[in-house]
Amino acid sequence: MIARNILEHGESSALLGTPTNGYHPLWMIVVTMYGSVFGFGLMGLRIFETLLFALALVILIRALEIRSFMYALLVTVGFHVIFFGWMVSGMEISLLLPLVCLFQGLMLRPDWRAGWIGTIGLLLSACAVIGTRLDAAFFVIPILLFAPLGLTRKSLVLAGLVAAAVAYTSVNLALFDTALPISGSVKSLGAPTLNTGYLEQLETAFSGLPSTFLVGDPFVTPFITAGIGICCLVIGLLPSLRNQQEFRATRGILLGATIGFLAYSAKLVFGSSWRVWFWYGYPSIFFLIPILAILHSQFGTYRIAKAVSLIAIAGLMYVNRYVIAPDQNRSERIPQNAAFYEMVEKDIGDGPVAMGDRAGTFGWMHPHGLFQLEGLVNDVAYFALLERSGNVRATLCARGIRKVVDYEPNLGRYERHDIAVLRPFLTSFGGPFLTVYGDEEVARMKNDPNTFGLIEEADSTIYLWKLDCDR
């Protein structure tokens, strides 16, 4: 949606005239470039993401110097089970995986980072990882600090990162009046706080062990891989292993990743008021690569290890086929949004639409602009309104936005209803309400479980209202 507006109108916005930087910059650049050549069809994007996944595997297998077909197959199947479901979702994790493989491959392979070309490669890959997912800086910077790179090379790479950060924040301030993405500011509303929603997600995921780990649960996997990584780090400090080349190469990565994970987790627990989504499990990547490097270096020549690899491949394929695949049959908002848009397209007309949670697909289908009520892809002025719990209805009317779409319970007959702009299920920050009236309702569509799957009663019905701004 934003990439389409960049291409067609030269404006970074979900709604023309409402500039936003609510995205990770490099992923937006890549999506925009891809769309300029191939368009934004869903199937084409899935193929592109699959190719990125294949590229990550090629980089990883070459970085670890895996020459055994069995180990290569194990890495491929394992990564497919853990990461592939995350990657074909149109999110930045698609690009992050091959970039982290490249960044850590440069760390693991001295021949890859030799000379000035290697130093430039380290700088560019570090910038690319952070540009794809800004909070990956929690991992990249400590890994660089603890990696065996030499003081001069570390200083050059870190100085380059600082220069890139200054350039990025300066452009943001000039174009959007904010140094960092507005989406991050929205998710930090109310901080410092205790993010009870995220803690509940962790409790649910850990209570399902070990099955949640076996299916690559994004809430459990980072903690499990971090624990394994810390064990490898401790083992690598044993006198008999301390000076082995393989452990010298991975010790800095694991130590930096551990420190980064502690900072990242603290940010989610105390610096955010929002629940998280599956792609927040990406820290697994930073641990899994050095763990594979150690395992391959220590056991890659043993015949029994190859037999274990074959058993592991069979187990992972079984999990993927009989555990993960059936779970994919869950409720889908995309077809429900599509069905409702087809029903109300004439009623909406060619004006913009305001919508909060699940607005992405609806906004994509409606080419006349989306005002994102949660503020994740909105502007600084609207963020200030959310922060002070201001009058959302008056703001919509002042901006010429009359149509509002939202998921709510079945309201039956009602005179007035207050929409929670920031849904209590998603965030502990209260936020403002948007008042709508029964006589402003244009249409509603109740979920059909046989068509769209089981959906919570609180979201059972999707509505369209047309605001009477003279009210």
Which pLDDT belongs to residue 326? 44
Residue at 339 is within a domain: yes
Domain that holds residue 80: 41-327
User: Do 373 and 432 fall within a single domain?
Assistant: yes
Q: Which residues of 180-192 are buried (b: 16+ CB within 10 A; e: fewer)?
A: ebbbbbbbbbbbe
User: Do 184 and 311 fall within a single domain?
Assistant: yes
Q: 93-108 and 42-63 helices cross at what angle (nearest 10)?
A: 10
User: Do 88 and 209 fall within a single domain?
Assistant: yes
User: Do 108 and 186 fall within a single domain?
Assistant: yes
Number of residues that make up the chain: 471
User: Do 266 and 352 fall within a single domain?
Assistant: no
Which pLDDT belongs to residue 225? 83
Residue at 27 is within a domain: no
User: Do 282 and 155 fall within a single domain?
Assistant: yes
End position of a domain, from candidates 327, 350, 365: 327
Residue at 437 is within a domain: yes
User: Do 314 and 407 fall within a single domain?
Assistant: no
User: Do 189 and 71 fall within a single domain?
Assistant: yes
- Sorted by sequence, the CB contacts under 8 Å of residue 470 that are 6+ apart come out as none
Residue at 1 is within a domain: no
User: Do 158 and 299 fall within a single domain?
Assistant: yes
Which pLDDT belongs to residue 238? 56
- Sorted by sequence, the CB contacts under 8 Å of residue 192 that are 6+ apart come out as 270, 271
Residue at 29 is within a domain: no
Residue at 6 is within a domain: no
First to last CA, the chain: 32
Residue at 387 is within a domain: yes
* 237 C-beta neighbours (distance < 10 Å), count: 10
Q: How many distinct structural domains can be found in the chain?
A: 2
Using the Cα atoms of residue 241, residue 242, residue 248 and residue 253 in order, give the sign of their dihedral. Answer: positive
- Sorted by sequence, the CB contacts under 8 Å of residue 385 that are 6+ apart come out as 391, 392, 395, 432
End position of a domain, from candidates 266, 292, 327: 327
User: Do 310 and 397 fall within a single domain?
Assistant: no
End position of a domain, from candidates 283, 308, 327: 327
β-pair partners for 349: none
Which of 170, 107, 158, 171 is closest to 130 using CA atoms? 158
User: Do 274 and 400 fall within a single domain?
Assistant: no
Which ranges of the chain have pLDDT less than 50?
320-322, 324-331, 454
User: Do 357 and 292 fall within a single domain?
Assistant: no
Residue at 7 is within a domain: no
CA distance 195 to 202: 11
Are 376 and 22 in contact, with CB atoms under 8 Å apart?
A: yes
Amino acid at site 192: P
pTM tops 0.75:
yes
Burial class of residue 13 in the structure, from the number of CB atoms within 10 Å of its CB (0-12 exposed, 13-18 middle, 19+ buried): buried
